[in-house]
Chains A and B, each alone.
Chain A
Amino acid sequence: MELLKCEGVRKVYGSGGNQTAALDGIDLSVDRGEFVAILGASGSGKSTLLHILGSVDKPTDGKVVIDGTDLSKLNQTQAAIFRRRKVGLVYQFYNLIPTLTARKNILMPLALDKKKPNREYFDKITASLGIADKLDLLPNQLSGGQQQRVAIARALIYRPALLLADEPTGNLDQKNSKEVVDMLKLSNRNLEQTILLITHDEKVTMAAGRIVTVEDGRIISDERRR
């Protein structure tokens, strides 16, 4: 069942003769429960694609529909609420709120909607991510790996339709990188979480069921693995 659909997505920066196309006619479809890795070198346009999918940025041309929502029609407020409820974003540099504890960081998307967390689900994800005993610490009291796990927990707490991960292992050592990728894989299998992971590291893509390669703003290959 299709969750995400991109049709002819273009993103152009600059104006006049200075125009640069970061994305140049991307067509992509992702089904529910898929774990897709978008592989590309630096400057290939993969992060721009993720920003557009996360409703952080808008395409110059084309259409993006996630879970039935056309992202191009969202205003700023609607885009923020969409990000809060429909997508979970995981960044290379974690982007945790430095003034909130790990627990409050994780619960923040729910708190913004004045919703109470499902205790069982909260315990389940924090236990499976191995951060149950770190919940009352501030981000600067956690290691990089622990911060990234908190960021993943935050991305998952709202049970989003789509989890977008932008180089989530880019700032981690090998051991932590492997653990983070394993956790994403686990959430994909156990929670049937749709994941779209962006990376330039081919090793990281091994966990994904599908690898989409981007070069100069275009998809040059789309390979499904068994």
Chain B
Amino acid sequence: MWKDYSLNYIKNNHSVGLSVTIAAFISALLLSLLCGLFYNAWKYEVERIELEEGGWHSRIIGELAAEDIETIKDFANVEDVKRNEKEQKGTEPATDIYFNDKKAVFTDTPLIAQRLGIGPERIIYNYELLAMYLIRGPGDTAPRLLFPLFILITAAAAFSLIIIIHNAFAVSMNARIHQFGIFSSIGATPKQIRACLFQEAAVLCARPLLAGTLLGIAGSAGLLYLVDAYIGSDVPGRHPLVFGYHPLVLALTLLVTVITIWISAWLPARRLSRLTPLEAIKNAGEFQLKRQKSSRLLSLLFGMEGELAGNALKAQKKALRTASLSLIVSFLAFALMQCFFSLSQISTRETYFERYQDVWDIMVTVKDTDIDGFEEADRIRGLDDVESAIVYQKASAKRIIAEEEMTEDMKSFGGFSGAPANYVSQAEGGWLVNAPIVIMDDLSFAAYCEQIGIAPRLDGAVILNQIRDVTNPDFRHPVFMPYIKAPGVGENAVSVLRQSGSGEQSGNKRQSGGAGASAGYTSAPSGDHKETTAAVPVLAYTQEVPALREEYATLDYYELVHFIPASLWKEIKGRIGGTEADSCICVRAREDAAPEELNALQDEIAQLVEEKYTIEQENRIQKYETNNRQIQGMMTVFGAFCVLLAIIGIGNVFSNTLGFVRQRKREFARYMSVGLTPEELKKMFCIEAAVIAGRPILISLPIVVAAVGVMLKASYMEVGVFAAEAPYIPILLFMLAILASVALAYYLAWRGVRKISLAEVLRDDTMM
């Protein structure tokens, strides 16, 4: 009987079924998408660990004899044993063990070690990889966040979805309280009523569940393709992201979705089945206001229709809660994301691409090569499309600045009083500051000398004599002033550079080895270690920098940059500081070089130098395009999530409005019986739709404006610059999409409502 009744009801009430179907489809889509993405994130992480660390489960350090390896292989649970050739280079030899049952790794490996007479200190486990299979050992103390994150996000998604589908079920079930009251009055038990509702839920949700799941899998594949193509393709050293899927993931997805839908149906079904027959028969399932609420603004703007619409929205507040929340969050997130990326794009373009537009076209990093060891500079300069090529290497040093050397400008903002201790320290005779050295090939240095208007010489340094006003944090429009008083440049002007200290030789810096210093360079004991200094002649103090893709004094405002020729460096290296491991070549192409010509030039440079050196190359236009593509990719991914969030809200609006004919039939009949014309009813509908769609926009826009204000202030960008390129169109399109979707939901509802026959409703005895 229930089967016939339910099927008949579903057949005759498509609109109610549709709202539940949409809700189930969205739930399945979202959960399937999440599970697909997480599975691939897991798979990618496993692949990464296997590539970087290896796919072994446990490892025995130290040399093992061939018979020992055979002994390990004889263990039942051992799948394979391999000598680790890679690890043996420069370190102790190691033997990697792979297990059939990974869970046994923590019990079997000690047994193996015991059998071989090896102490437990020689065993190490691949904790990172094992944790990916949820196998945790007592020695693995690192936080493993992938699974907790997955569980948290899935639980949050399932919880949010329960609220939505629960609403869809509640709307459809509430419309039938009266009918179930009648069933109850003739002896149907609560269990039978619940069973009936669950059967209906199963019939309504089966197809959308499968369709949503399949589309979710396709969506995750598409999203990963986008991520791989737009965001990750240019990240050096990463391995490609290949989409994968596993039947177990499908099973898990279906299980999570079915549980979510079951809980969503159970919540209203339980409440409904517990009503007494009298309560159920009396209940008209209408939206009610518990206490008086006025809709003054809508009433003022639209008269009685506005008041009715406002009150109806207040009465539907609970049913529309998910819609309001998800539409607000999605619009807010979308608008903020668009503004943030636009701002970021403008900022990168202004501070990086435009600033260095005339400085470089191709940057070549020559790995593990000192400037004096690089011999291909002239051949590069000789290439057809090359305008200039500067070979340079950076080194670190320190020097003392005495009180009397400081300019009045420098003193005006407090001298070194506000300088961080890790950059500036007080020393005998003044303050010890960083003096980064940029060593340029002789030819380029001579050209630089000409650029700043001095006679080219290769025995001295040009000092960048400027310091940023540290009291002005506006990094976009920094104010520079002379750092030290420039004494007369000549034979006697020297800058005494000091070793930056062994403790600071870190990262890719290394101590220079090499020749001793020539006359004029001294060694002086300082503290516990012997400090060496080099007094280099100063050729000029300048505020003009050579055309290199370098930024100076960005973190340490107090550094005093020295540009020196490679010839001079040959003389002083080993005395002061350490060079960075790599040298760089800053290549400028012909002015009118097209992107394809730059690519060709890049290939030519590679052909010239790759035989002898290991190089990495960057191409300005390619980098600009990559940067734009990455931003577009990130915007697409984040935008997709915002759209998905909006779909949840729109789905809720649809599930609500499609139930209108049933749910609000009596309400509309009342309006009509008092004399509300169809046009006035339509106006009321339009007001409701406008409020539902407009409220998220009206709430979000001031927040977006305030947030953009904060972002502009923090990034010191002028309002006009941002306003000229602000993402009006995408935000407007998103806004219009919300408006159009809500309008469509209400239009479809209106088509049903306008067919309501007042006479038929009045003939219904249940009209209360």
Q: Is the interface of B mostly helix, strand, loop or mixed?
A: helix
Q: Which 5 A-B pairs have the closest CB atoms?
A: A84-B675, A99-B311, A57-B759, A80-B677, A111-B304
User: Any chain B CB within 8 A of the CB of A114?
Assistant: yes
Q: Does B468 contact A (CB under 8 A)?
A: no
Told that A97-B670, A98-B286 touch, could you supply 13 new A-B pairs with CB distance under 8 A?
A47-B763, A51-B763, A81-B675, A81-B677, A83-B675, A95-B669, A97-B667, A97-B671, A97-B674, A99-B311, A100-B308, A111-B304, A112-B680
Contact A99–B675 (Cβ < 8 Å)? no
Please give me the residue from chain B that is nearest to A111 by CB atom: B304
Compute how far the CA of A77 lies from the CA of B308 in the bound complex, rounded to whole angstroms. 18
A51 to B762, CA, bound (A): 8
Q: Does B314 interact with chain A (Cβ within 8 Å)?
A: yes
Within 8 A of A (CB), among B223-264: none
Using an 8 Å CB-CB cutoff, how does the interface string of A38-61 with B read, 1 for contact, 0 for none? Answer: 000000000100010010110000
Q: Is B304 a contact of A98 with CB atoms below 8 Å?
A: no
> Within the assembled complex, what's the spacing in Å between the Cα atoms of A166 and B303?
30
Q: B89 contacts the other chain (Cβ, under 8 Å)?
A: no
9 residue pairs from A and B, CB less than 8 Å apart: A76-B678, A80-B680, A89-B673, A95-B670, A99-B315, A109-B675, A112-B680, A137-B292, A138-B292
Cβ contacts under 8 Å, B674 to chain A:
83-84, 89, 95, 97, 108-109, 112, 154
Taken together as a complex, chains A and B put the C-alpha atoms of A51 and B291 apart, in Å, by 33
Q: Report Cα–Cα, A77/B314, bound state, in Å.
A: 27
Q: Could you say which residues of chain A place their CB within 8 Å of the CB of B680?
A: 80, 112
Are B673 and A83 in contact, CB atoms less than 8 angstroms apart?
A: yes
CB of B493 within 8 A of chain A?
no
Shortest CB–CB separation between residue B762 and chain A, in angstroms? 6
Whether a CB of chain B sits under 8 angstroms from the CB of A148 is no
CA distance A81 to B315 in the complex (A): 27
Contacts of B759 in A (CB 8 A): 51, 56-57
CB distance from B426 to the nearest CB of A (A): 76
Interface membership of B758, Cβ < 8 A: yes
- Of all chain B residues, the one with the shortest Cβ separation from A136 is B292
B705 at the interface (CB under 8 A from A): no
Given the complex of chains A and B, what is the CA–CA distance between A1 and B680 in angstroms? 34
Which of A97, A99, A108, A137 is packed against the most chain B CB atoms within 10 Å?
A: A99
Looking at the assembled complex, report how far the CB atom of B627 sits from the nearest CB atom of chain A, in whole angstroms.
Answer: 54
What CA separation (Å) do A173 and B136 show in the bound complex? 74
Closest residue of chain A to B675 (Cβ to Cβ) is A84
> Is the C-beta of A104 less than 8 angstroms from some C-beta in chain B?
yes
A221 CB-CB contact with B under 8 Å: no
> Nearest B residue to A137 by beta-carbon distance?
B292
Residues of chain A with a CB closer than 8 A to B314's CB: 99
Considering only CB atoms, which chain B residue lies closest to A99 in the complex? B311
What per-residue 1/0 map shows which CB atoms of B651-695 lie under 8 Å from chain A? 000000000000000010111111111111000000000000000
Q: B594 interface residue, CB < 8 Å from A? A: no
When distances are taken between beta carbons in the complex, the residues of chain A under 8 Å from B671 are 97
- A83-B673, A84-B675 given as contacts; is B762 within 8 A of A91 (CB)? yes
- Shortest distance in angstroms between B281's beta carbon and chain A's nearest beta carbon? 13
- In whole Å, how far is A82's beta carbon from the nearest beta carbon of chain B? 8
A169 within 8 A of B: no
User: Within 8 Å of chain B (Cβ to Cβ): is A205?
Assistant: no
From 65 to 103 in chain A, residues with beta carbon under 8 angstroms from any chain B beta carbon are 76-77, 80-85, 89, 91, 93-101
User: Contacts A56-B673, A57-B759, A99-B315 hold; do A104 and B288 have CB atoms under 8 A apart?
Assistant: no
| Measured CA separation A97–B286 after assembly (Å) | 11
Interface 1/0s, chain B 296-315, versus A by CB < 8 A?
00000001100110011011
The reply to whether A95 and B672 contact each other, CB–CB distance below 8 Å, is: no
Q: Does B767 sit within 8 A of A, measured CB to CB?
A: yes
Q: Does B744 contact A (CB under 8 A)?
A: no
B289 close to A99 (CB less than 8 A): yes
Cβ of A140 under 8 Å from chain B = yes
CB neighbours (8 Å) of A81 from chain B are: 675, 677
Instruction: Collect the chain A residues with CB atoms within 8 Å of residue B303's CB.
Output: 111, 114
Docked CA distance A8–B667 (Å): 33
B763 pairs with A77, CB closer than 8 A: no
Q: Is B768 an interface residue (CB 8 A)?
A: yes
- With contact pairs A100-B307, A111-B303 given, residues A85 and B675 touching in the complex (Cβ less than 8 Å): yes
B312 touches A93 (CB 8 A): no
- A140's nearest neighbour on chain B, judged by CB, is B288
B303, B304, B308: residue with the most chain A Cβ atoms closer than 10 Å: B304
Shortest beta-carbon distance, B243 to chain A, in Å?
51
Query: For A154, what are the chain B residues with a Cβ–Cβ distance below 8 Å?
Result: 674
CB pair B670–A112 under 8 Å, yes or no, is no
One of B287, B292, B673 near A95 (C-beta < 8 A):
B673
CB neighbours (8 Å) of A100 from chain B are 307-308, 311
Residues of B near A76 (CB, < 8 A) are 677-678
B750-768 residues at the A interface, CB under 8 angstroms: 758-759, 762-763, 767-768
**Residue in A54, A80, A89, A137 whose CB lies within 8 Å of B678:** A80
How far is it, in angstroms, between the C-alpha of A175 and the C-alpha of B289 when the chains are bound? 29
Task: Give Cα A111–Cα B591 distance, bound, in whole angstroms.
Answer: 75
B-side contacts of A109, CB under 8 Å: 674-675
Candidate in B288, B667, B672, B762 with the most chain A CB atoms within 10 angstroms = B762
A76 to B670, CA, bound (A): 15
Q: How far is the CA of A94 from the CA of B762 in the complex (A)?
A: 11
Contacts of A95 in B (CB 8 A): 669-670, 673-674, 767
A83-B674, A98-B315, A138-B292 given; A108·B304 CB < 8 A: yes
Residues of chain A contacted by B308 (CB below 8 angstroms): 97, 99-100
Chain A residue nearest to B758 in the complex (CB) = A56
Bound: A47/B675 CA distance, A: 19
Closest A residue by C-beta to B764? A93
Chain A's closest residue to B767 (CB) is A93
**A202 and B757 alpha carbons, distance in the complex (Å):** 31
| C-alpha spacing A190/B258, complex, angstroms | 67
- In the complex formed, the residue of A with least CB distance to B303 is A114
The complex places the Cα of A96 from the Cα of B286 at a distance, in Å, of 13
Min Cβ gap B275→A in Å is 17
Pick the most buried of B670, B671, B675: most chain A CB atoms within 10 A of its CB. Answer: B675
Chain A residue with the shortest CB-CB distance to B309: A99
Distance in Å from the Cβ of B685 to the closest Cβ of chain A?
Answer: 15
User: Does the CB pair A56–B675 fall under 8 Å?
Assistant: no
Residue of A nearest to B678 (CB): A76
B contact residues around A98 at 8 Å (CB): 286-289, 315, 667
Give Cα distance in the complex from A119 to B174, angstroms.
41
Which of B311, B677, B678 counts the most A-chain CB atoms under 10 A from its CB? B677
The A127-141 residues at the B interface (CB cut-off 8 A) are 136-138, 140
Contacting residues, chain B, for A84 (C-beta < 8 A): 674-676
Q: How far is the CA of A127 from the CA of B763 in the complex (A)?
A: 32
B291: chain A residues at CB < 8 Å are: 138
Q: Is there an interface contact between B292 and A91, defined as CB atoms closer than 8 Å?
A: no
Q: Given the complex of chains A and B, what is the CA–CA distance between A77 and B676 in angstroms? A: 8
> Of all chain A residues, which has the CB nearest B312?
A99
